[in-house]
Structure 1
């Protein structure tokens, strides 16, 4: 019997084919994983697009004052983030940590009289005793010292210093040797101005109590002010489509000062940015703009500084940063303080627009030590060479006061529309970016 020949076998596939199949499998799996894991734009909700500035204000005002670290602030930030997401923008939150003083009450005692005292915004509290020295309106440091203020307590009124910032008043009193300051809140519109952080009691008393205190000028008094300084963390909100580059940055600060509802300063700016984002949803502008709400502006531009520090490379693409601050009350006509290259664009989209220099008298300013002056969140962008436009209607009577409760939705929308047209003009105009990061060796590049 003949031996059975072994059956032929299929040759083993070449290693190159196996490698190709493995690469395809990995590629398909990796592509699927990337598609599932990459950031996605949320869907645009029709209800969000149908909202109005007036409706947004009704919702935002319900949260009350918005100082960093307060409950109203946190609720407002959460609500705003939800509004941007509903308009189809992905929202990133950037932490902003600052130290803030919180007033824990105080007392002024003059013999048998005891009245409550509130720490002035920014002061750090303390306890001191001395004679109450009545300061006349506008007194210089030399005049204060001649009145015997050294090692005593200064006593004055809000009305006496309506034309002078309280920081200047405090500076003069301290140069004259004062151990503390008592300010009677008798202005027609109560003020909430910031003062320097000194280790001395700087307080205000009500107009009713102030009348009794003023009658005792010259008498010995004891002043106590309790202030707790806490580290609190706010949040910048950065709303943008996943594919969007920050060729335009729409910005506004979302916090308010202590005790102020912050309607015009600066719910009006926040609502203008939200309205611009609503108008841009589904358009080409949405792919070329970031909508940013900065935190802790009232504490010294902390949010905008943190944003610029974290996005310096991305901001090399920015053709214009538009900052909306106090645009809901017509203290003055709608105006813009803009980079020289943006001014003609502003005049073209709004003939006759008020053009001003951003160094308004009577308002706190920041950034002077860098050679860049200004009073709002565009200043850090200017310091990095970004062209900015500060859109503003001037200081109204409610500035930094409990009376800052109202705004005009129509004025807010007008500012928003102006900003959007200016953004579109900046995108359409020829532009050559500066290159501050030559060789990519500079900090932040």
Structure 2
């Protein structure tokens, strides 16, 4: 998937009360700070140790707070702390790993503190294990090249000539592809499409190099018939230069296996109430990095929304569900939806999915029209610049799709605009607290508007 250019957000928002947002205070807050809170994502990330104005200028509320839970308002500083706990204290949370389980326990314990009936929902997954992947340049030079298997790659060893095929479209494969290892640049089409096109052209193996600096973690959507590996942009360009200069030979070794493990959803329900709304997102990360944006940011937003909604002493009929194994293909959300009874499905008005939202300057609202239209109205009311694309990621891409595909309206709060996506560079230092504040404000307002229907 390729992110399109989006309009910039020009200011962060003050926290929104669980029961009411005070628009005059919000407008005054933004007016005072407009000169200092420009939203250019090209700037060097601000220090996350600095308190956001959103945490120091809470919107007033008349609700009675529950002792020990704090104010019934979304507080971005709290959300930032959750992001730190997930992406720094725990770190990589790949599906089926100890890191994912530690994160699940952390989330469950936090939600239980707020008065919800919180539990882990286990489900089996097939995990991909990269036992050993090696790429050796044999000629015209001899040296090893760092490589990692693409998820879903078959095992095998190939020693052959290296040829290049652009971005892996069928017409880009040269005449000498048969029996060769093919070098392809990331971008424009999926990893599986690149691998399938290479296989159709007779290639014996495929190497995909990044289209941005550094290495990356890639996942095929189906099993590959030939070994498939990923390398950094820098190594890929160096290999491409050798291919362009003359005959180049490599040896690609990929040794992989699959294992059955347990992953977990974290399900938090208001005691004695049926869920009318599900709020959540996935908490797992890819193996390549700590996933501070993808998706500790969405998880942190949902956790803080849960606290704010409980802090006034009245638990709304909202379930908070954080999903495991999204990065393997929406497995957690699919398992959760399949676990619902017909009556439970019928009771749900909507699902709000928060995924990859703490980087960028855009709010492209996507999903079911009945939900997106309400979120757009709330965004207008809160002066949050946004765009609408009902079809964007409507049936895939993130966990809201599992609900839509089962007849439950859902939407996605997201900005697919992070250059560190699925890489080791997706770190806490790039998480923007003002983005968490905006996500919480819009999420709280949308949830309350849906419940009021």
**TM-score range relative to shorter protein:** 0.7 to 0.9
Q: Any conservation in 1 of the 2:90–2:102 contact (CA below 8 Å)?
A: yes
Match of 1:188 among 197, 203, 213: 213
Alignment partner of 1:151 is 2:162: no
How do 1:314-353 residues align onto structure 2 when only pairs under 5 Å count? 314-330=344-360, 332-351=361-380, 353=385
Match of 1:173 among 198, 208, 224: 198
How do 1:168-317 residues align onto structure 2 when only pairs under 5 Å count? 168-185=193-210, 187-195=212-220, 196-206=222-232, 213-214=239-240, 215=242, 218-283=247-312, 286-313=315-342, 314-317=344-347
Higher gyration radius (CA): 1
Q: Any conservation in 2 of the 1:358–1:374 contact (CA below 8 Å)?
A: no
Distance 1:377 1:392 in 2: 12
Match of 1:376 among 376, 390, 398: 398
Tell me, what secondary structure is at the counterpart of 1:298? helix
Distance 1:212 1:340 in 2: 47
RCO comparison, higher one (Cα < 8 Å, 6+)? 2
Q: Any conservation in 1 of the 2:353–2:413 contact (CA below 8 Å)?
A: yes
Identify if the C-alpha distance between structure 1 residues 125 and 340 changes in structure 2 by more than 3 Å, giving closer, same or farther.
closer
Identify if the C-alpha distance between structure 1 residues 358 and 226 changes in structure 2 by more than 3 Å, giving closer, same or farther.
farther
Match of 2:449 among 418, 421, 425: 425
Q: Any conservation in 2 of the 1:124–1:229 contact (CA below 8 Å)?
A: no
Gaps of 5+ in 1: 1-43, 366-371, 430-445
Tell me, what secondary structure is at the counterpart of 2:86? helix
Identify if the C-alpha distance between structure 1 residues 305 and 285 changes in structure 2 by more than 3 Å, giving closer, same or farther.
farther
**Cα deviation 1:299-351 (Å, max 9, x = unaligned):** 11111111111114212111121111111112x42232242223442233220
Q: Any conservation in 1 of the 2:280–2:352 contact (CA below 8 Å)?
A: yes
Identify if the C-alpha distance between structure 1 residues 151 and 292 changes in structure 2 by more than 3 Å, giving closer, same or farther.
same
Distance 2:420 2:183 in 1: 25
Which deviates more from structure 2 when the two are superposed, residues 300-309 or residues 66-75?
66-75
Match of 1:400 among 412, 418, 422: 422
Distance 1:309 1:211 in 2: 45
Shift of 1:166: 2.9
**Cα deviation 1:56-89 (Å, max 9, x = unaligned):** 2222222111111222222111111111111111
Identify if the C-alpha distance between structure 1 residues 179 and 315 changes in structure 2 by more than 3 Å, giving closer, same or farther.
same
- 2:131 corresponding residue in structure 1: 104
Distance 1:222 1:412 in 2: 46
Distance 1:305 1:53 in 2: 26
